[in-house]
Amino acid sequence: TFAAPDYDRYPCLKLAMEAFEQGQAATTALNAANEITVAAFLAQQIRFTDIAALNLSVLEKMDMREPQCVDDVLSVDANAREV
């Protein structure tokens, strides 16, 4: 059997699970935010422990209307990258 995930230790996992429950807009925004924050971490611009907080900040600022077409998905992605 599997143990329950430790969300305190793995906060990005909690963000992913919550985004999945919210839908396509949230998962798209989280993916875009995570790509930006991981790149910033790899460039030594932020600490590893900053990734989850920055990703959450992006999600909280986003309009989470569900995309109706591919252009909407691309718009969510672009907007998340700008936040």
Q: What is the pLDDT of residues 34-75, one digit of tens each?
A: 999 999 999 999 999 999 999 999 999 998 899 999 999 999
CA quadruple 78, 64, 38, 16: dihedral positive or negative? negative
Helix axes 51-61, 11-22, angle to 10 degrees: 20
CATH number for the domain running over 11-82: 1.10.1740.10
pLDDT for 1: 75
What integer pLDDT is reported at residue 36 of this predicted model?
A: 98
What are the extents of the domains in the chain? 11-82
Query: For the whole model, what pTM was predicted?
Result: 0.91
